Amino acid sequence: MTKQDRAVRTRLALIRSAAAQFEAHGYVRAGLARISAGAGVSSGALHFHFADKAAVAEAVEDAAARALREAAVRGHGGDVCALQRLVDVTHRVARLLCADVVVRAGLRLNGEGAAGRVRDLRREWRECVQGLLAEAERRGELAAGVTPQRTSAVVLAATTGIEVLAREDHEWLARPSLTDLWRLLLPCLAAPRLAGVVDPAGSEPVRSDPAVRGPVARDGQAEAEAGRAGLALR
């Protein structure tokens, strides 16, 4: 293993350790000593990679943001109806949150503005939901009188509430929980021709896919490859 590869691995270990500390103790109470110890490195190694705790938190947010954007982008395009893709992306994000502490911690840090508001992940989620509902309207997939604006407010409130509740109990992110939500919503939202067509449990098979392996693993590979090419990644 080259020196550069070791540096990448150390940085990623620090991000994951920091995420675990932020999730368990919150930004204020999470200490740099615990973060470095959790990564199995010295405090000096931590400061080589990050100037301070805010920089560590920003790195956690960055990793989470990339993973969430990838999950959202996979909900666009294709022949599947827009409403089904909306259902699918909520299940995909739930699996991601359940599987990866970095995503959970990054979303929580971003919501609390702990590392400064460089980005707004909840706004990005809102735009994803609104975009899919607008497409559903254009395709005639929404029931009469149902508008993307009013519907997005309901979906956003429900999904955000589930994410907050899941901080104490991950069962809220389980497939049955989201399936029950969509079983209640879809009869009110979907055009009659789609009755029984849109699967509230999601149309994607549950498997270990790239979106669930974790942003740190993917970023690590990208950063290692960029490092060998002499590039800098933020």
Distance CA 136, CA 110 (A): 29
- Per-residue pLDDT reduced to its tens digit, 12-67: 999 999 999 999 999 999 999 999 999 999 999 999 999 999 999 999 999 999 99
* CATH number, residue 210: 1.10.357.10
200 lies in some domain: yes
Structural domains of the chain, count: 1
| Tokens encoding 174 | 């389980």
- Per-residue pLDDT reduced to its tens digit, 177-186: 999 999 999 9
Instruction: Tell the burial category of 212 from Cβ atoms under 10 Å away from its Cβ (0-12, 13-18, 19+).
Output: middle
197 lies in some domain: yes
Distance CA 204, CA 94 (A): 13
233 lies in some domain: no
234 lies in some domain: no
212 lies in some domain: yes
| Tokens encoding 121 | 């992940």
**142 phi, psi to nearest 5 deg:** -95, 150
* pLDDT for the residue 78: 66
- Per-residue pLDDT reduced to its tens digit, 90-140: 999 999 999 999 999 999 898 887 666 567 888 999 999 999 999 999 999
DSSP structure string for 114-133: TT--S--HHHHHHHHHHHHH
* pLDDT for the residue 72: 85
Q: Which residues contact 165 (CB under 8 A, 6 or more apart)?
A: 172
Q: Does residue 32 or residue 210 have the better pLDDT?
A: 32
* pLDDT for the residue 116: 61
SS3 76: coil
Q: Which residues contact 7 (CB under 8 A, 6 or more apart)?
A: 49, 227
Task: Give the structural domain span for 205.
Answer: 3-228
